[in-house]
Amino acid sequence: MDAQRLLVFREIARAGSLGAAARALGWTQPAVSQHLRQLERQAGTALVLRHPRGVRLTEAGQVLARHAEALSARLRAAEEDLAELVELRAGTLRLAAFPSASATLVPAAVTALRAEHPA
């Protein structure tokens, strides 16, 4: 299954209607509807019951919504982990220096780095 379709479905489940999901995503309602149709085709079953005031998840839709929510949480965690590495808040620092620099320059540089990026 396509991750983007699952995330769109997650928003449909949260919003309770295709129109509200479209607004939350900044998409058009037909685009959201198309993603839902394609996901239902892949799933081989209806995921929502359409009503004049929105949608209600079928049993299959409830199962898939739980997985979509878990996928969203894992994607957020991955983004946070990467941000920590990029912003030098986590990761491994490897230092190499000549013996003369090790004695004089490296201690001051490490102290400055720790001051800028406390653990």
pTM above 0.85, yes or no: no
Q: Determine the Cα–Cα distance for residues 67 and 65; give it in Å rounded to an integer.
A: 5
- Start and end residues for every CATH 1.10.10.10 domain found in the chain: 3-86
Residues 9 and 64: beta-carbon distance below 8 Å: yes
Q: Determine the Cα–Cα distance for residues 10 and 84; give it in Å rounded to an integer.
A: 26
Q: Determine phi and psi for 64, rounding to 5 degrees.
A: -65, -35
CATH classification (class only), 3-86: mainly alpha
pLDDT tens, the chain, 119 aa long: 899 999 999 999 999 999 999 999 999 999 999 999 999 999 999 999 999 999 999 999 999 999 999 999 999 999 998 888 787 766 777 878 888 878 888 888 888 888 887 76
What does the CA dihedral 16, 53, 30, 79 come to, rounded to 10 degrees?
-10
